[in-house]
């Protein structure tokens, strides 16, 4: 069994687990996806398939033969190698938690609110 994404107008509408023989009897466009593929790497060391595992609402780009998420922020760009969205500023490497602030196009530290 394998995972397959149903594609309509370049967007994933559903993902199912099925045999190729079943997929061959279905209407529409179906593209195989790998549950273990993320950022162009296969988590178990096998050959990656279509850059990322498909999800509902993801784009299937037939030119790149890749799945990727909807663009999270207008300032982010698609990494052509991983088909992952990247912020224009690298995530800080200091063991703190940050959230993206699109207004300032920067990372803002997230701190827990004090307990009263």
Regions of the chain short of the pLDDT cut 50: none
Query: Do 33 and 90 fall within a single domain?
Result: no
pLDDT tens digit sequence for 55-88: 999 999 999 999 999 999 999 999 999 999 999 9
Nearest to 10 by CA among 71, 79, 58, 78: 58
The residue count of the chain comes to 116
Q: Which residues pair with 3 in a beta bridge?
A: 17, 33
Amino acid 115: pLDDT: 65
Q: What is the DSSP letter of 48?
A: -
Against a cut of 0.85, is the pTM above it? yes
Range of the domain at 64: 1-70
- Alpha-carbon gap, residue 79 to 81, rounded angstroms: 6
Amino acid 112: pLDDT: 76
Strand order in the sheet with 66-68: 29-33, 2-8, 11-18, 59-61, 66-68
Query: Do 92 and 38 fall within a single domain?
Result: no
Query: Do 54 and 1 fall within a single domain?
Result: yes
């Amino acid at each position: 069994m394998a995972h397959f994404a149903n594609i309509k107008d370049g967007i994933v509408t559903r993902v199912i687990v099925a045999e190729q023989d079943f997929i061959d009897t279905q209407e529409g466009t179906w593209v195989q996806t790998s549950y273990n593929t993320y950022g162009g790497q296969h988590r178990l060391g096998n050959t990656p398939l279509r850059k990322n595992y498909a999800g509902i609402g993801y784009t299937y780009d037939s030119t790149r033969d890749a799945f990727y998420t909807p663009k999270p922020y207008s300032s982010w760009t698609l990494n052509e190698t991983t088909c992952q969205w990247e912020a224009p500023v690298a995530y800080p490497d200091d063991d703190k938690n940050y959230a993206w602030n699109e207004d300032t196009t920067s990372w803002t530290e997230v701190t827990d609110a004090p307990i009263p």
